[in-house]
Amino acid sequence: MNTDDDISALIDDEIYANGGDDENRPNHRQIISADQFDIEAYASLYSGRTKISRLLFIAKHCGENLTMQLDALRMAFDEIKQGEDTSLMREVVNKISGRLGPDYAVDDAWYLNINKKAELKKEKLETELNSFRTNLIKESIRMGYNDFGDFYYAHGQLTEALKNYIRTRDYCTTMKHCIQTCMCAILVSIEMGQFSHINSYISKAEQTVEPLDTVTVAKLRCAAGLSNLFSKKYKLAARKFIETSPELGSHYNEVISSQDVAMYGGLCALATFDRTELKNKVIDNTVFRNFLELVPEVRELINNFYASRYAVCLEYLGNLKSNLLLDIHLHSHVETLYDLIRQKALIQYTLPFVSVDLNMMADAFKTTAAGLQKELGTLITDNQIQARIDSHNKVMYARHADQRKATFQRVLETGREFDRDLQSMFLRSSILKYEASRSRGGRRL
């Protein structure tokens, strides 16, 4: 793709999106209920702009929990104060609205200092880049555009940052430089919510001649997982997260944490994998198990689901939900994933039985018989369960195929095929005889 066209398309499409024995494990993300949500521990898992974005997201979506909101805003303020994004600082100060005292109010001296430094740095970068262009030194030009990308990214001007990162592509002289360009473009695209563009950069990075290091491959898997999650391709997202190497560690905390890999991958797998896939690709997967150990709630959730302990499984899901709704990437998919998981549980529960007492089943799924009947009716209508419901007696009967009737139908169809084959043979024999008689009559003449 042409560089200018690439930049133009990106700008046009821009979307701003701006527990068990493991309890004492370092950086363990405790997810039990909203009352126990530790914002400080959660924020410590991330760095850079995503840390600020996640804190602001929590402040916006934590409902009437004023303490949580102010804690998130306070931490966001402290993080921004260490950077250079004055626009983001104004936004946070407005949201705090004086509720945290004078230390978290407008700091004119800080604004003036940051703006003054920014003007001097920008002027220096422009001078250097013009000099590099004049001398036609490709590597220096690439570094000049990359420095401009870093500058704009630090100041929150993501569109300009992406433009400059993309421009470095024309001046890359090694595979390492090409990969760096792709990783920078992926990072900014995620921050801007432009997930539709991420896959092209992932492909470019993966198509390099030189083999990629393990950490870079893990980062690309995570980026692909987020892209598929955004597109609601949950099975593909699950596969990408599950394929992520545990060597990722904390190397991609500017985008995602290892705990997120376990959470996103586990829930997407639970919603879309069949029992065999869940067993082979998740439960028995020694690589992905390293991630699941960081979030034991998800590990237990998956194991309980596979063991058909649906009441416990649904209880875990219920406890996790409030925290999942505070996740910047997962929140809009929680309801869909929960519905898919519950539907799978209902289907699996009914499979072994000829008849099911809806009252007993309702107890297992923490609902009423009437509510369960409605859910099962939807699944029957969608042809996901082959059954019929006796509404009066609250019993569901499985519809098993009539084996005798099916056998007769197969025999009749076999007979029809034999008859067609026999007719074809007679016709071919008659044609051959006719041809032979004609040829003999011709010779006599």
Judge whether 267 and 298 are in contact, CB under 8 Å.
yes
Sign of the C-alpha dihedral computed for residues 79, 82, 88 and 89 taken in this order? positive
Q: Give the C-alpha distances (Å, rounded to integers) separating 305 from 315, 345, 363, 397.
A: 11, 7, 16, 24
The encoded tokens of residue 189 equal 């695209």
* Tens-binned pLDDT, residue by residue, of the chain (445 aa): 444 444 444 444 433 333 333 333 334 444 334 446 789 999 999 999 999 999 999 999 987 889 999 999 999 999 999 999 999 999 999 999 999 999 999 889 999 999 999 999 999 999 999 988 888 888 899 999 999 999 999 999 999 999 999 999 989 888 999 999 999 999 999 999 888 889 899 999 988 878 899 999 999 999 999 999 999 999 999 999 999 999 999 999 999 999 999 999 999 999 999 989 999 999 999 999 999 999 999 999 999 999 988 888 888 898 899 999 999 999 999 999 999 999 888 888 888 778 888 888 888 887 888 888 888 888 888 888 888 888 888 888 887 545 566 677 788 888 888 888 888 888 888 888 888 887 776 554 4
pTM over the 0.85 mark? no
Residue 301, pLDDT score: 92
CA 281 to chain centre: 17
User: If you ran DSSP here, which 8-state letter would residue 387 be given?
Assistant: E
Residue 405, pLDDT score: 63
Judge whether 283 and 302 are in contact, CB under 8 Å.
yes
Amino acid at 165: Y
Residue 438, pLDDT score: 79
Label residue 65 exposed, middle or buried (CB < 10 Å: 0-12, 13-18, 19+): middle
Distance between CA atoms of residues 93 and 325, nearest Å: 24
Residue 328, pLDDT score: 94
What are residue 356's DSSP bridge partners? Answer: 396
Distance between CA atoms of residues 335 and 375, nearest Å: 15
Distance between CA atoms of residues 192 and 67, nearest Å: 29
Spatial CB neighbours of 100, under 8 Å, sequence gap ≥ 6: 70, 73, 74, 77
The encoded tokens of residue 281 equal 């690709």
Phi, psi of 395 (to 5 degrees): -130, 140
Residue 26, pLDDT score: 38
Distance between CA atoms of residues 284 and 301, nearest Å: 15
